[in-house]
């Protein structure tokens, strides 16, 4: 090994980095794991990507252009079920020897949902979650060295506007540090939870305060969080179980009348299309359905709504 820097040529394999939060609503985002993996090898995410991932993607005839980290998030936003993201996750598995069932199942989940509007275009965060990650550390350097900070997969969904753990609205990043503190180039630590601008660990530099979220926003976020926990711990679901869950929802409330269409903003034809597998349901639509028939998102996706009639309907 030459000096401090990790030389990829000397190491055909990478050491293991454990995926955080598997089986919980705090499942780590792929982008966050990728950054931690690069950091632990003392290379930038760009070097890691170009050395270990780009050649594999190109051999598979997949596009491997753009800034690697943008790609890690962009793939998620464009098509979470895309071959590119799948290939990246498989490659991570080979390189680190770590079974990534949690992440793989999240890709599978996204494959049964409509792509449009699934992921957030502008990254959003709960800065309070970062604060919690590092709260137990006496010094921030130790927090970084012990690899405590991580970004959550939950924040990548557009339907999620709040942190269910803190009851606060998610915010996009806006560094409030004076420009003379802005770090330049390689000095910046490229980790989720570290401000890319000023290097503040835990992104404590933010200009905007997180507002208190509404009860509905917290409910929605908690539903998606429970679904992430469910699929990442190996909960069973498929396109067929999802269709079954939707069918159970409609059976529960009876005829999908025009009154229901007005109440939910979803027409009978739309729901029929989901039920018959003609089109994939949107996450927002499933959440609205879950709220309307008083069930949970996990029950719909896994086809376990049951046929009990809603009380009072
Ligand atoms: Zn939070
Ligand atoms: Zn900052």
Ligand 1: centre distance to CA 28 (Å): 13
Q: What is the Å distance from ligand 1's center to 155 Cα? A: 10
Bridge pairing between strands 124-125 and 168-169? unpaired
Alpha carbon separation from 309 to 106, 248, 285 (Å, rounded): 31, 10, 21
Measured distance between the N- and C-terminal CA atoms of the chain, rounded to whole angstroms? 69
Q: Residue 170 C-alpha to ligand 1 middle, in angstroms? A: 8
What pLDDT does residue 72 have? Answer: 43
Ligand 1 centroid distance, CA of 128 (Å): 5
Q: Which ligand is nearest to the CA of 201?
A: 2
* Predicted pLDDT at 239: 93
Whole-number Å distance, alpha carbon 75 to ligand 2 midpoint, is 26
pTM: 0.87
CB burial class (10 A; 0-12, 13-18, 19+) of residue 123? middle
Paired tokens of 4: 């401090």
Distance 158 CA to ligand 2 centre (A): 24
Question: Nearest 10 degrees: CA dihedral of 192, 194, 195, 199?
Answer: -150
Residue 254 CA to ligand 1 center (angstroms) comes to 38
30 near 53, Cβ under 8 Å?
no
User: Measured in angstroms, how far is the CA atom of residue 179 from the centroid of ligand 2?
Assistant: 9
How far is the centre of ligand 1, averaged over its atoms, from the C-alpha of 220 (Å)?
A: 14
What's the pLDDT score for residue 24? 94
Contacts of 109 (CB under 8 A, 6+ apart): 227, 231, 237, 301
Output the CA 230–ligand 2 centroid distance in Å.
34
Q: Which ligand is nearest to the CA of 177?
A: 2
pLDDT number for residue 67: 44
The answer to whether residues 113 and 301 touch, using CB atoms and an 8 Å cutoff, is no
Kindly list the domain boundaries of the chain, sorted by start residue: 17-112, 236-302
Cα 187 to middle of ligand 2, angstroms: 14
Q: Ligand 2 center to residue 171 CA distance, Å? A: 14
Q: Is 287 exposed, middle or buried (0-12, 13-18, 19+ CB in 10 A)?
A: buried
Distance (Å) from CA 174 to ligand 2 centroid: 7
- pLDDT score at 151: 93
Distance 196 CA to ligand 2 centre (A): 7
| Ligand 1 center–CA 125 separation, angstroms | 8
Q: What is the pLDDT of residue 69?
A: 43
Closest CA to 64 of 40, 83, 36, 44: 83
d(CA 237, CA 230): 10
User: Which pLDDT belongs to residue 74?
Assistant: 42
Class of domain 236-302: mainly alpha
Series of mean pLDDT values for 10-residue runs along the chain (313 residues): 51 76 90 86 82 81 55 43 70 74 74 81 91 89 87 91 97 90 68 88 92 97 95 90 94 86 89 92 94 95 80 50
Query: From the CA of 188, which ligand is nearest?
Result: 2
Look at residue 252 in the predicted model and tell me its pLDDT: 87
């Amino acid at each position: 090994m030459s000096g401090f820097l990790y030389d990829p040529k000397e190491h055909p394999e990478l050491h293991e980095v454990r995926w955080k939060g598997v089986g919980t609503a705090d499942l780590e985002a792929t982008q966050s794991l990728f950054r931690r993996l690069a950091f632990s090898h003392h290379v930038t995410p760009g070097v890691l990507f170009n050395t270990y991932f780009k050649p594999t993607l190109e051999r598979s005839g997949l596009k491997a252009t753009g800034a690697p980290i943008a790609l890690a998030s962009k793939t998620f936003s464009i098509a979470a079920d895309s071959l590119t993201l799948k290939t990246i996750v498989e490659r991570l598995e080979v390189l680190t020897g770590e079974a990534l069932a949690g992440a793989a199942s999240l890709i599978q989940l996204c494959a049964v949902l409509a792509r449009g509007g699934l992921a957030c275009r502008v990254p959003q965060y709960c800065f309070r979650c970062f604060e919690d990650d590092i709260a137990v550390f006496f010094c921030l350097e130790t927090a970084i060295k012990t690899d405590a900070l991580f970004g959550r997969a939950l924040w990548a969904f557009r339907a999620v506007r709040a942190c269910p753990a803190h009851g606060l609205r998610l915010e996009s990043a806006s560094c409030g540090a004076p420009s003379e503190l802005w770090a330049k180039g390689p000095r910046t630590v490229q980790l989720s939870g570290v401000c890319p601008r000023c290097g503040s660990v835990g992104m404590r530099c933010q200009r905007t305060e997180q507002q208190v979220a509404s009860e509905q926003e917290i409910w929605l976020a908690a539903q998606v969080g429970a679904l992430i926990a469910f699929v990442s711990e190996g909960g069973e679901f498929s396109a067929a179980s999802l269709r079954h869950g939707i069918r159970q929802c409609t059976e529960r409330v009876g005829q999908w009348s025009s009154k229901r269409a007005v109440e939910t903003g979803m027409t009978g034809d739309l729901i029929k299309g989901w039920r018959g597998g003609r089109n994939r349901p949107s996450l927002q639509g499933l959440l609205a359905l879950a709220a309307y028939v008083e069930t949970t998102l996990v029950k719909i996706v896994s086809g376990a709504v049951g046929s009990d009639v809603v009380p009072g309907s």
